[in-house]
Chains A and B, each alone.
Chain A
Amino acid sequence: MATTEQETFVGRAIPRREDARLLTGRGTYVDNYTAPGLLHLVVVRSPHAHARIRKVDVSAALAADGVVAAYTGEDLKDAWPNGLPCIWPVSEDIKMPPHLPLAVDKARFVGDGVAVVIAESRAQAEDAAELVAVDYEVLPAVTDVEQAAGPGAPLVHDDVPENRCYTWSLSAGEVDKAFAEAKYTVRGRYRQQRLIPAAMEPRGVVCEISPATGDLTVITATQAPHIMRTAYTLVLGIPEAKTRVIAPDVGGGFGSKMDVYAEDMLVITCARRLNRSVKWIEGRSEGCLATIHGRDLIQEIELAADENGKVTAVRTHLTAAMGAYLQAVTPGIPLLGAWLYAGCYDAVAYDFHCTGIFTNTTPTDAYRGAGRPEATYAIERTMDKLAAATGKDPVEIRRLNFIREFPATIASGLEIDSGNYEAALDRALEVLDYEGVRAEQAARRESGATRQLGIGFSTYVEMCGLAPSRILGALKFGGGGWEAMTVRCLPTGTVQIVSGTSPHGQGHATTFSQIVADRLGVSVDDVEFLHGDTAVSQLGLDTYGSRSLPVGGVALWHATEKIIGKARKIAAHTLEVSEEDLEYSGGRFAVRGTDKGLTVKDASFLAWAAHNLPEGMEPGLTAQHVYDPPNFSWPGGCHVAVVEVDTQTGAVFLDRYVAVDDVGTVINPMIVEGQVHGGIAQGVAQALFEEAVYDADGNLVTGSLTNYLVPSAAELPSYELDRTETPSPTNPLGVKGVGETGTIASTPAVVNAVVDALSPYGITDIDMPASPERVWQALRGVAR
């Protein structure tokens, strides 16, 4: 076969292979599943934030049309002796109260399930759910994290004094000394408001039972089918071998769909009791209560700096809301930022302390960025305060403090493999026309314009690619951080990837195919990507924490190398030369100095036929690799927001948004940019729009999309993106992960811009979201 110019794929903006079915209405979202005799389950939820459950009477519901069963927590509690799992007991002192899928003694937040009704149709189940009578003794409730931590607060769990779930600390270097010797100290106190992840697809679960074997197929809107299968066993005692979990097309997750939820257990338990298929589909307003929330913590941070404005030490204290119960990784979320409160700056001493607090609210857990947006916000807001204290420009204070030599051991103790923060900053300034925008700002200040301009920076580093298993173990995390990939070369030329990651919008089928296509010299169209079904992909740890490419993608690279290694042996044997005589390029082994050769595709057939393989070689051309990274990966970059603030109404308009990210090597720039766009929108939403608000009785008053303000296209600008590329030296692809960068970087950029716009009025802080009313209040406050 003659060598032809091989088409390559890595680095190209190839439109996604996933799109065709999604664009034509042929997605497989869980609510699209149906089955003969399918029953519909509805959860009856507590309307009280804290109440003793005296009696739950389901008799009227049972008598209603179409109702097959109705159960209370008491009826079902034997099905889950250990309750729902928290797999991250972060400290020795942690309190982990039982968390049952249906509350039995007490309801502890508005939305806590107290009963289920199962009927032939969804409408009948909703009708009957209204007939469930619950006798509650309403108890005092506390939803605010600081109030809950304060004296005399109602106890969410009787046996958890002061509502304190845990305390956790990290300290390095001589912090007190640094503060004593500092020329400048600045402090910030920030409220990370509670957020609702609001993936566009609400959650849903279907459980089917094989009549012959009792085996279960659970189709669930999850980011983590492999973890779910294990969790179902831990909670319900069903052998893993009897449970198949399918994550079909999943309509976004952002962390909220990696959790182990009550409703999965309810659907499975009821399906087994009734020996019928059962479905539960979350309503949006229901989801605002029943799906985890993000953030909700108070941050106190202090920086010490020398006479030049060089940061020497960072001290942080967090008070973090757990909500009413611990979900899968609730306690660990604030700690995912524990190492990052010095940002990308070269501090030497570091002190971090976190207290986890129970409140009568929906549990918190991972929401896009999980711990790292909070850390980035705190340090980036406070760097602006340091700039103000030292009289320096926000750009200069950052430039002065950047970590510049890599690998860098940061103050909190971890090692950053690579980065170039100044290059990203310089590029951003260029895209922005910094001087031009500052001049415009000065002109508006001069003229006293109603609409004032503000410019806000965020230079950031994040740790992602969760994660090295040994580090997770040291942090008491219950699982590992590896990822598994299998490559199978079929005899006719198709290459299959069996993926342990579980994409739900990230485009793995395209990106991962690009990697394999290049290494094996095939077209992406010849690569089949299999995922999201534990019967197909037996091993994996799924998709969250920007891990899929830096962990899963690297596993895939290694598996592909194993394929090439075996194919090389087959080629050498077939061509009767030594392996050293073969040159590999573009999927073909060429015998050096001749036109003889053999492709991986040829080797696939030869391995399958197995007529003449090297002595002792197994037939077939398949390889699996399980990759456990040596370190986290460390994307970084610079985001800049330009806002206009209407000083009469307080309205904030995001005029421009510049993002220069360094995520290492880029496989598909179009997908990478899409991830950044979406992340920016979510971060901007935290800065300006979104907030989960509870009233004094503990009702969630932002319980639907009419008042939980997910922004639309009309509220956001187009973004101006660029990249710098510093490949990661710790993995062969040089990749770093991109799923969370936008969310991690953007929130402080926007709030810094708002504060910058208001700084001539003497305003130095604004709570999030920087709503028109908050801005107006701030302006009114200084006017007095």
Chain B
Amino acid sequence: MRRISLTVNGTRREVEVEPRELLVYVLRERLGLTGTNVGCDTSSCGACTVLVNGESVKSCTVLGVQADGLEITTIEGLAADGALHPVQQAFHEQHALQCGYCTPGMVMAAVSLLSEHPSPSEREIREALEGNLCRCTGYHNIVKAVQAAAGVA
């Protein structure tokens, strides 16, 4: 077991982990942050996307020990003072989620996109979400939501 220290959603957390534990399981099982979902085992679906030092990362493809000392933001840490983040708010208003399973990863991917590229075109949004699969929405409203959020974020 290794002792690692992460800053998760602004709070410093110390946990003991096995080297083989993936970051997503450290978050879900060691820290109780079950908002980040696992949708595949091949780094394909993006459901597990979190921000590491502000950038989108698939937390199923990072070992917990690799994240030692880094800053992690999960879906639970996005809303500030009870108000939804503009991307979350836009997902709600544009009906960009149905079953909700891909949603945390999709939202984090969109937040990362907008921080790098504040006013993307529709094509750029679609390409930036290439690593996040959704089976319910056909992506139409997700793209609309990211466009809407880009207007205010």
Contacts and interface: CB of A to CB of B under 8 A. Distances in A.
Touching in the complex, A and B, CB below 8 A?
A: yes
Interface of A: 13, 15-16, 18-20, 22-27, 29, 31-32, 123, 198-202, 249-252, 254, 283-285, 504-507, 670-671, 673-674, 677-682, 704-706, 710, 712-714, 716, 718-719, 742
Given A506-B98, A670-B95, A712-B133, A718 B45 contact: no
A504 B84 CA distance: 23
Contacts of B98: 252, 505-507, 674, 678
12 contacts: A15-B95, A25-B36, A31-B37, A123-B18, A200-B37, A200-B134, A249-B99, A251-B102, A252-B101, A252-B136, A681-B135, A705-B42
Interface stretch (B51-59, B62-70, B121-129): B121-129
Contacts of B127: 713-714
Interface string B17-61: 010110000001000011111111110110100000000000000
A24 B75 contact: yes
Interface string B113-153: 00000000010011101111111111111111000000000
Given A19-B97, A251-B37, A677-B138, 15 more contacts: A19-B100, A22-B103, A31-B38, A123-B20, A199-B135, A200-B99, A507-B98, A677-B137, A681-B135, A682-B138, A705-B45, A712-B132, A713-B132, A714-B126, A718-B122
Interface in B85-109: 88, 91-93, 95, 97-104, 107
B112 interface: no
A20 B92 CA distance: 8
Interface residues of B, number: 57
Nearest to B29: A34
A677 B141 contact: yes
Given A252-B135, A678-B136, A713-B129, A671 B101 contact: no
Contacts of B36: 25
B100 to A, nearest CB: 3
A201 B95 contact: no
B138 A679 contact: yes
A713 B125 contact: yes
A673 B94 CA distance: 11
Contact of A19 (B47, B91, B126): B91
A476 to B, nearest CB: 32
Nearest to A506: B98
Nearest to A252: B99
A640 B134 CA distance: 23
Contacts of B76: 24-26
A678 B133 CA distance: 12
Contacts of A670: 95
Contacts of A677: 137-141
A16 B99 contact: no
B34 A32 contact: yes
B45 A201 contact: no
B139 A681 contact: yes
Contacts of B41: 283-285, 704
Given A705-B133, A713-B139, A24 B39 contact: no
A201 B130 contact: no
A505 B100 CA distance: 7
B122 to A, nearest CB: 7
A110 to B, nearest CB: 17
Contacts of B84: 23-24
A670 to B, nearest CB: 5
Given A27-B35, A200-B102, A718 B143 contact: yes
A716 B132 CA distance: 13
B68 to A, nearest CB: 20
A23 B34 contact: no
Contacts of A199: 99, 101, 135
B42 A706 contact: yes
Contacts of B104: 25
A199 B129 CA distance: 18
Contacts of B45: 200, 284, 705
Contacts of A505: 98-100, 136
Interface of B: 18, 20-21, 28, 33-42, 44-45, 47, 74-76, 78-79, 84, 88, 91-93, 95, 97-104, 107, 122, 125-127, 129-144
Given A32-B34, A714-B127, A680 B138 contact: yes
Which of A24, A29, A706 gathers the greatest number of chain B CB atoms within 10 Å? A24
A394 to B, nearest CB: 24
A742 B18 CA distance: 46
A780 B6 CA distance: 57
Contact of A674 (B78, B95, B143): B95
Given A26-B35, A505-B100, A710-B135, A284 B20 contact: no
A712 B135 contact: no
B40 A15 contact: no
Nearest to B101: A251
A22 B44 CA distance: 21
A282 B99 CA distance: 18
Given A24-B84, A252-B135, A674-B95, A704 B101 contact: no
A366 to B, nearest CB: 15
A291 to B, nearest CB: 13
A779 to B, nearest CB: 28
Contacts of B74: 25
Contact of B100 (A22, A284, A673, A716): A22
B135 A713 contact: no
Contacts of B18: 123
Given A16-B92, A674-B95, A23 B139 contact: no
Q: Which 5 A-B pairs have the closest CB atoms?
A: A25-B35, A251-B101, A22-B100, A505-B99, A681-B138
A506 B137 CA distance: 11
Nearest to A714: B130
B129 A712 contact: yes
A250 B136 CA distance: 12
A111 to B, nearest CB: 15
Contacts of B42: 284-285, 704-706
B99 A251 contact: yes
A313 to B, nearest CB: 36
Nearest to B36: A25
A22 B97 contact: yes
Contacts of B103: 22-23
Contacts of B129: 712-714
A514 to B, nearest CB: 14
Nearest to A27: B100
Contact of B139 (A13, A24, A250, A716): A716
A682 B138 CA distance: 8
Contacts of B47: 200
Given A15-B93, A25-B75, A706 B139 contact: no
A23 B135 contact: no
A719 B127 CA distance: 17
Nearest to A712: B130
Given A23-B91, A25-B74, A705 B100 contact: no
Contacts of A680: 138
Given A29-B37, A200-B39, A706-B42, A24 B135 contact: no
Contact of B133 (A16, A679, A704, A710): A710
A259 to B, nearest CB: 17
Contact of A713 (B40, B95, B130): B130
Nearest to B99: A505
A249 B37 CA distance: 12
A249 to B, nearest CB: 6
Nearest to B104: A25
A678 B96 CA distance: 11
A232 B147 CA distance: 47
A766 B139 CA distance: 27
Contacts of A713: 125-127, 129-130, 132, 134, 139, 142-143
Contact of A671 (B35, B37, B95, B143): B95
